[in-house]
Amino acid sequence: SGAGKSTVFDLIQRFYEPECGGIFWGERNLSELCLSSVRGLFGYVPQDPGLFSGSIRDNVIYGHPLATVEEINLALRHSHCDQFIAQLPDGLETILGEGGAGLSGGQKQRLAIARAMIKSPACLLLDEATSSLDAESEHYVQQALDKLMKGRTTIIIAHRLATIRKVDTIYVLNDGQIAEQGTHDELLATSDGTYNNLVKLQLQDS
């Protein structure tokens, strides 16, 4: 906690500008691109989804207002939103309170995933997207995330280490620095490493 993980995401999306160095997309420094181009590259699913007062439809198409009915239905099906939306009296036109009031945590998270699916970004940013969910909600959200991550670069912030065991590279941040990097198995092989100790602690807790 407090190592700078969320700050990295803010820098990637240019909510802050780096004081030195640069963040590159291939050969291009992101500072050379206009903000709308930078933000268009990324789909962001935070721990607390940014839903607003309005219909479910408006919340889902926020990143792609010209989405077709087919695109909306596909995203809702793949994010497992269609199940609970079908049970609402007004369906897609159901009006939500500020922050998604009226929906459970798992339902709000799945709507955030549907929004990212419709946008179809080149790179996906997941910030503790399942950490506050119960087991059943996490199951559905993880299934939706697996579909969303397929075929695209994904950067994941996670405290719950089971969610990142299969990723290509794990970076362990400590006090704003990369303390360790490698695969899950490589980092476990470092007996006195930070990652190894975190895994042991989580196994103890469970």
Query: Each residue of 144-166: pLDDT tens digit?
Result: 788 888 889 999 998 777 778 88
- The better pLDDT of the pair 31, 134 is held by 31
Two tokens, residue 28: 């291009």
Two tokens, residue 37: 């181009």
Q: What is the pTM of this model?
A: 0.85
Question: pLDDT band at 49, cuts 50/70/90?
Answer: confident
* Helix H or strand E segment including 141: helix 135-149
- Residue 65's Cβ-count burial label (10 Å; 0-12, 13-18, 19+) is exposed
Phi, psi (degrees; rounded to nearest 5) at 173: -95, 140
d(CA 125, CA 127): 6
d(CA 178, CA 5): 10
